[in-house]
C-alpha cells in the first residue's frame, strides 16, 4: 500500500538552509533549465564544508533527480513534513540479516529493487549490501504458489511503472509494491560500456566497492564489471565472447537477435538485469533468472556484436505476457530500435500462434513506444484492406486484427479508442479513418526504416509446460 508523506498546509519562509531537513519540499532550480519546479529533499551531505542536497522533482521522472547546492534552493516557500508523521513513509529501515552461523550474509549476485520510498539519512544504507541481504531473506521466505492480492495497476504519481525484472514471485506480475529506503537515490556515477560512457538514471545494486568509483567498466560482450579500464583490458584478453551467449535466431544485415536461457547462462542473465536496472525504475530485481528467456538485439561490426537492447520473457506465462521487461540502451534510443524490439516480440508470438501483451503497468517511455507501435501496426492492417465487392466497404473484426498482428484483444480495443476510430452507428461499430489519420500513418511509416523480416527468423517455440524442469 502506498503511503504518502503528509506536509503542513501552509508554506514557511525558511530563515536558513540549516533548518532544512530530509523530506522538505521547496522550489529548486533544475540544472540545464530556467525552471524552478517543486522538489523534495531526499538526502543532505557535507562536501568540504558546504552542504549538498539530493532532490527529487515532484511530478518529474526520477531520472532527473540530482545533487544541488544551496544556491539552487528557493527557501522563500518551504513545505516542512508534519512532525506527527515524521520524515518517513512508515517503511522501516532494512536491518542486517544473519542466517545460520550468525554472521552477516554476503551479497548474492542480484537483489530486490522496488518502488522508491522516503529518504533516510544513513550513508551505509545507500549501497546494495542491505538490499542484497534482504533479497536473500525474501527468496527464502517466498513461496512460488498462491495468488497475489496486490493491485498490479497501482501507480505512484502520473508516471506509469515498469514491469519488474526476472525473479521468483507469487503471481503473473513481477511488479513490487514494497518501498525500499535504499533505492531512492542513484548510486552509480558513470559506466563505460564499449565505446559509450553513460550516466545511469536510477539505483542498481552493484557491490559497494564498485559504486564508490567514478566509473564502472563493463565488458560489452559478457557484461562483467571491472573497477578500472586496466582491469577491463586484462579481462578482454581472456574473454572469448564477441556476442551474447546463446543461439542467434535472427540476422538481417547488421542486426541480430540472440536467445539466452536464464538457467543455462545464469551469470550473463544476472549481469544483464543488473545493467538494465541502471536505466529502468520501479522494478523488482532478483537473482533467480531460471524461469526466463532473454532476447538480446545487437548490431555487428568488425569488433563484434554490440548490445542495443533486450527484452525478457517468461517461459510460461499464465497471463499471456510476451514481454516481461524491455529496454533500449540510451545510445540507441530514438533510432527505431525500440519499435524493432517490440515488433520482434510479436513476431515470436506469431510463431507460437498466440496473442501477447507486455507485462503491465509500463514505464512512461515504454507506454509511449507500445502505443505508437500498436497504432501503426493496426492502421497498417486497416489501410491495406480491400472491399469484398463493388460499392461495399472493407470489413474486419477485432479478432481478425488480433490474429493478423498477435496483439491482444484488450490492447487492440484500447488503441482504437485512443485514436477515436470506433463509432457506433445503426446498431454496429464502425471504424472510420480520416484523411488526417491516413496522412499521419504514411508519414510515420516513412520514418520506420528498419523492420523485422520474418524470413530471417529461424526459431522453433518450445513447450515449456511439458518439461519437468527448465
**What does the chain come to in residues?**
470
Active-site annotation holds for 253: no
Q: What angle do CA 263, 269, 271 make, to 5 degrees?
A: 145
C-alpha cell at 125: 544504507
Cβ(296)–Cβ(306) under 8 Å?
A: no
- SS3 of the chain: the string is CCCCCCECCCCECCCCHHHCCCCCEEEECCCCCCCCCEEEEEEEEEECCEEEEEEEECCCCHHHCEEEEHHHECCCCEECECCCCCCCCCCCCCCCCECCCCCECCCCCCCCCCCECCCCCCHHHCCHHHHHHHHHHHHHHCCCCCCCCCCCCCCECCECCCCCCCCCCCCCCCCCCCCEHHHCCCCCCCEEECCEEECCCCCCCCCHHHHCCCCEEECCCCCCEECCHHHHHHHHHHCCCCCCCCEEEEEECCEEEEEEECCCCHHHHHHHHHHHHCCCCCCCCCCCCCCEEEEEEEEEECCEEEEEEEEEEECCCCCCEEECEEEECHHHCCCCHHHHHHHHHHHHHHHHCCCEEECCCCCHHHHHHHHHHHHHHHHHHHHHCCCCCCCCCCCCCHHHHHHHHCECHHHHHHHHHHCCCEEEECCEEEECCCHHHHHHHHHHHHHCCCCCCHHHECCCCCCHHHCCCC
| Residues 415, 447: Cα–Cα separation, whole Å | 20
- Which residue, 140, 160, 141, 142, is CA-closest to 152? 160
Alpha-carbon distance of 62 to 264, in angstroms, equals 34
**Burial class of residue 29 (count of CB atoms within 10 Å of its CB; 0-12, 13-18, 19+):** middle
b (16+ CB within 10 A) / e for 282-295: bbbbbbbbbbbbbb
CA distance 211 to 131: 14
Candidate list 152, 319, 359, 436, residue with the active-site label: 359
Catalytic residue positions, numbered: 359
Amino acid at each position: 500500500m502506498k503511503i504518502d508523506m503528509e506536509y503542513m498546509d501552509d508554506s514557511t519562509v525558511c530563515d536558513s538552509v540549516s533548518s532544512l531537513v530530509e523530506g522538505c519540499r521547496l522550489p529548486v532550480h533544475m540544472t540545464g533549465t530556467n525552471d524552478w519546479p517543486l522538489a523534495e529533499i531526499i538526502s543532505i551531505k557535507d562536501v568540504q564544508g558546504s552542504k549538498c542536497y539530493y532532490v527529487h522533482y515532484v511530478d518529474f521522472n526520477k531520472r532527473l533527480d540530482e545533487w544541488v547546492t544551496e544556491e539552487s534552493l528557493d527557501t522563500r516557500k518551504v513545505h516542512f513534513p508534519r512532525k506527527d508523521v515524521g520524515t518517513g513513509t512508515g517503511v522501516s529501515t532494512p536491518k542486517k540479516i544473519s542466517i545460520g552461523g550468525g554472521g552477516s550474509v554476503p551479497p548474492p549476485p542480484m537483489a530486490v529493487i522496488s518502488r522508491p520510498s522516503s529518504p533516510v539519512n544513513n550513508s551505509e544504507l545507500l549501497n546494495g549490501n542491505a538490499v542484497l541481504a534482504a533479497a536473500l531473506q525474501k527468496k527464502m521466505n517466498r513461496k512460488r504458489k498462491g495468488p497475489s492480492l496486490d493491485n498490479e495497476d497501482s501507480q505512484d504519481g502520473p508516471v506509469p511503472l515498469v514491469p519488474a525484472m526476472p525473479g521468483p514471485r507469487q503471481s503473473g506480475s513481477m511488479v513490487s509494491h514494497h518501498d525500499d529506503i535504499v533505492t531512492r537515490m542513484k548510486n552509480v556515477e558513470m559506466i563505460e560500456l564499449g565505446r559509450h560512457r553513460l550516466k545511469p538514471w536510477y539505483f542498481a545494486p552493484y557491490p559497494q566497492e564498485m559504486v564508490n568509483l567514478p566509473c564502472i567498466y563493463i565488458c560489452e560482450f559478457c557484461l562483467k564489471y571491472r573497477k578500472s579500464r586496466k582491469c577491463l583490458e586484462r579481462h578482454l584478453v581472456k574473454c572469448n565472447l564477441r556476442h551474447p551467449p546463446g543461439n542467434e535466431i535472427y540476422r538481417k544485415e547488421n542486426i541480430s537477435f540472440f536467445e539466452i536461457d536464464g538457467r543455462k547462462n545464469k551469470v550473463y542473465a544476472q549481469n544483464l538485469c543488473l545493467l538494465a536496472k541502471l536505466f529502468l525504475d520501479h522494478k523488482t530485481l532478483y537473482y533467480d533468472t531460471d524461469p526466463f528467456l532473454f532476447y538480446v538485439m545487437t548490431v555487428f561490426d568488425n569488433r563484434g556484436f554490440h548490445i542495443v537492447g533486450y527484452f525478457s520473457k517468461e517461459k510460461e506465462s499464465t497471463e499471456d505476457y510476451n514481454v516481461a521487461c524491455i529496454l533500449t540502451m540510451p545510445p540507441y534510443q530514438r533510432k527505431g530500435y525500440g519499435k524493432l524490439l517490440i515488433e520482434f516480440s510479436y513476431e515470436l508470438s506469431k510463431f507460437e500462434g498466440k496473442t501477447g501483451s507486455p507485462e503491465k503497468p509500463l514505464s512512461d517511455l515504454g507506454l509511449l513506444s507500445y502505443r505508437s507501435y500498436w497504432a501503426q501496426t493496426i492502421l497498417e492492417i486497416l489501410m491495406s484492406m480491400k472491399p469484398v465487392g463493388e460499392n461495399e466497404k472493407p470489413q474486419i473484426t477485432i479478432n481478425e486484427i488480433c490474429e493478423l498482428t498477435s496483439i491482444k484483444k484488450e490492447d487492440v480495443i484500447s488503441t482504437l479508442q485512443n485514436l477515436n476510430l470506433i463509432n457506433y452507428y445503426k446498431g454496429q461499430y464502425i471504424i472510420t479513418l480520416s484523411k488526417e489519420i491516413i496522412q499521419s500513418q504514411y508519414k510515420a511509416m516513412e520514418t520506420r526504416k528498419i523492420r523485422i523480416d520474418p524470413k530471417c527468423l529461424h526459431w522453433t517455440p518450445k513447450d515449456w509446460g511439458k518439461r519437468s524442469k527448465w
